[in-house]
Amino acid sequence: MDGLQAEALEPGSACQTPHFDKLREKGLAFRRAYTTTSTCSPARASLMTGILPHNHGVLEVEHGRDYDQCVLRTDKPHWSQSLQDSGYRTAYMGKWHVERSNSLEQFGWEINHSKASEHHKFLGQGKDGGADLPLDSKLCRYVEGPEGYNSLLHYGVTDTPPSERYPAFTVNQTKEVISEFSKSDSPWCTCVSFSEPNESLIVSRSTFEKYDVATMPLPENLNDDLTGRPNIYQRQRLISSDVTEEQWRMARTCYYGRITELDTEFGRLMEHLEASGELENTIVIVSADHGRYVGAHGYDAHNFGAFEEIYRIPLIISGPGVAVGEETSGLVSLMDFCPTLLELSGNEPFDVCDSRSFASLLLDPKAVEAEFNTAYGEYHGTRFNLTQRIFWKGNWKFIFNGFDFDELYDLANDPHEMKNLVNEPEYAVRVREMMAEVWRVVRETGDRAIGESHYYSMRIACVGPNPL
C-alpha cells in the first residue's frame, strides 16, 4: 500500500480494519518497521532489491526527472527473479512505480498486471485511473494557491461504491491469478500493490458514514510550531497553515475510510485464499512503502521531514512457522524484506551489506528481538534536492541534515518528536556517537555522495567520514 501510516493498523486506532486486525491475531505484528525513504519510487526499489537508494539508483520519484535521471540500475537483482529461477510462479498486481518501462517480466514477474503511469497521474485530481469520480460538493476540499499553482483535491466523498473503483479491480484480477496458480503444484508469489491511501483522499459515502467526523481524534502534534527544527520544516508548515481543525478531522476521516475500504478488499482476498485451499500454506505480508502525515506536525502528504509518521510503516506477517498473535519491537527495514523472502523461500541471499534477513524474528521474536535494535534510512529530496540520513538505535533517533542543523529525538519520552535535543549539551556525546554510526553505514554501503565530503565547504557534521 502507498502512504499507510503504521498507527492506523495498531490497537486503539480510530481506523476500522477488522480484516487486518484478524491477520494480526494470526501472525506477528511489528511496532518498529521503517521504510528506507519517505518517497514512493526509491522505497519500492529498495523493497525489490534489498539495497539503499544510493545503490539502486532511484533517488526520487521516477516520473519527476528526465529519462537518464533516477534510473533503476538493472544489474541489481530483484528477489522476484530468484523466486522465479527456483520454480515459483509470480504475478505483480497494481501500482509499480519503481522504474519507467513497466516491463515487469524482466524483473522476474511472470504475470504483469501493473498500472501504467497514466493511472497514477490523475489521482491527485479526483479521478480513478483517468475517470472522473462525482464528489459531494459539501464534503470535499481543494487546495488553492498561491497564485500560479494548480488546484489540488485534498479530500472528498463520492457515491461511486468501492466495488467500482480500482482497489476492487486489482483484487478481482488477483483472485483470478491465484485460481490459476492453484491448479499447478508449483509454489507461487503474488504482490498486490495499491495507490491508496495516498494522493487525494476520496472515500465512498457508504464507508464515510461508518465514521463520526466530529469525534475523529486529531494528532497530538498537530499544532507543533517546529521550534528548533530545520527551517525547511517550518516553511513546509506554512502550506497547511490555513487548514482548520474541522478540515483536518474530515481529511483524517476520509484517510481512515480509504484504509477501511482497503481492509474490505484484503478480506475478500483472504476469503478467496481460504476457499482455494491455499491459505494455510501461504505467507501473507501486509505493509506499505511509506506513511503519511494527515495532520501530524501540521503537514499532510509525505516526503519532507524525517518524522515517524512517514518513516514508520505497518508490518504484519502470518503463515507457516510465523509466531501467532505476537508483537515485536525489533527494528526492521523495508529493504530487509528482500533477504527475508529469499531465506524463507530457500534461495541464496544477495551479496549486499545494506540489508539483513529477519526470518529468525518471525520464528521466535522474544529470543532474538534484542539483536534487531538499529535501522537506517536516507532521503535525497523530491524535486527539491535535500540530503538526510536517519539512524535509529533503540529508542533514539538521529537525523543528519545536509541542509540545516541536525536532529535528535528520544522516542521513549517524546514519541511525537516535539523536542529536538541535538543542541542540548548533555546529549553531545550521543550526537557524536550516532553521527559516527551514520558514517559507518555510509562507508559500508558505498554512499560516495556524502562519504567523500571532506572538501572545505562540506565539513558541516560534528565528526567526519573517517573511522574514529
Please check the confidence at residue 104 and state whether its pLDDT lies above 60. Answer: yes
The pLDDT tens digits for 294-350 are: 999 999 999 999 999 999 999 999 999 999 999 999 999 999 999 999 999 999 999
- From 83, 107, 98, 84, select the one nearest 36 (Cα to Cα): 98
**Per-residue CA distances from 433 to 330, 335, 340, 446, 453 (Å):** 21, 24, 29, 20, 19
Counting other chains too, the contacts that 64-69 makes at CB distance below 8 Å and 24 or more residues apart are: 64/382, 64/383, 67/100
Q: Residue 395 domain-assigned?
A: yes
Q: Are residues 414 and 328 in the same domain?
A: no
Contacts of 100 (CB under 8 A, 6+ apart): 62, 63, 67, 71, 117
The per-residue pLDDT for 131 is: 60
What is the percent of the chain with per-residue pLDDT over 90, rounded to a whole number?
A: 90
Q: Residue 377 domain-assigned?
A: no
Q: Are residues 265 and 140 in the same domain?
A: yes
The per-residue pLDDT for 66 is: 84
Q: Are residues 392 and 341 in the same domain?
A: no
Q: Residue 267 domain-assigned?
A: yes
The per-residue pLDDT for 350 is: 96
The per-residue pLDDT for 287 is: 98
Q: Are residues 418 and 325 in the same domain?
A: no
**Per-residue CA distances from 150 to 143, 255, 265, 298 (Å):** 9, 22, 32, 21
- Average confidence score pLDDT of the chain: 94
Q: Residue 157 domain-assigned?
A: yes
Residue matched to cell numbers 507457516: 320
Q: Are residues 207 and 295 in the same domain?
A: yes
Q: Residue 375 domain-assigned?
A: no
Q: Residue 365 domain-assigned?
A: no
Q: Are residues 308 and 350 in the same domain?
A: yes
**Mean pLDDT, range 63-81, rounded to an integer:** 90
d(C-alpha 251, C-alpha 407), whole Å:
29
Q: Is 215 exposed, middle or buried (0-12, 13-18, 19+ CB in 10 A)?
A: exposed
Q: Are residues 58 and 187 in the same domain?
A: yes
Please check the confidence at residue 264 and state whether its pLDDT lies above 80. Answer: yes
Any idea what the CATH number is for the domain that residue 398 is in?
Answer: 3.30.1120.10
Please check the confidence at residue 399 and state whether its pLDDT lies above 60. Answer: yes
The pLDDT tens digits for 213-252 are: 999 999 999 999 999 999 999 999 999 999 999 999 999 9
What are the backbone angles phi and psi of residue 452, rounded to the nearest 5°? -110, 35
Any idea what the CATH number is for the domain that residue 151 is in?
Answer: 3.40.720.10
What letter represents residue 63's amino acid?
A: H
The range of the structural domain enclosing residue 387 comes to 383-468
Q: Are residues 46 and 165 in the same domain?
A: yes
Q: Are residues 293 and 389 in the same domain?
A: no
Q: Which of 307, 339, 357 is the last residue of a domain?
A: 357
DSSP 8-state secondary structure symbol assigned to residue 113: E
- Domain tally for the chain? 2
The pLDDT tens digits for 150-161 are: 999 999 999 999
Cell numbers for 126 = 479526483
What letter represents residue 62's amino acid?
A: E
Q: Are residues 387 and 301 in the same domain?
A: no
Q: Are residues 102 and 157 in the same domain?
A: yes
Please check the confidence at residue 269 and state whether its pLDDT lies above 70. Answer: yes
The DSSP line for 247-310 is HHHHHHHHHHHHHHHHHHHHHHHHHHHHHTT-GGG--EEEE-S----TTGGG--SSSSS--HHH
Give the sheet arrangement for strand 384-393, strand by strand.
374-382, 384-393, 396-401, 407-410
How wide is the angle at C-alpha 304 spanned by C-alphas 229 and 252, nearest 5°? Answer: 100
Please check the confidence at residue 62 and state whether its pLDDT lies above 90. Answer: no
Task: Output the pTM of the full model.
Answer: 0.95
Q: Are residues 443 and 316 in the same domain?
A: no
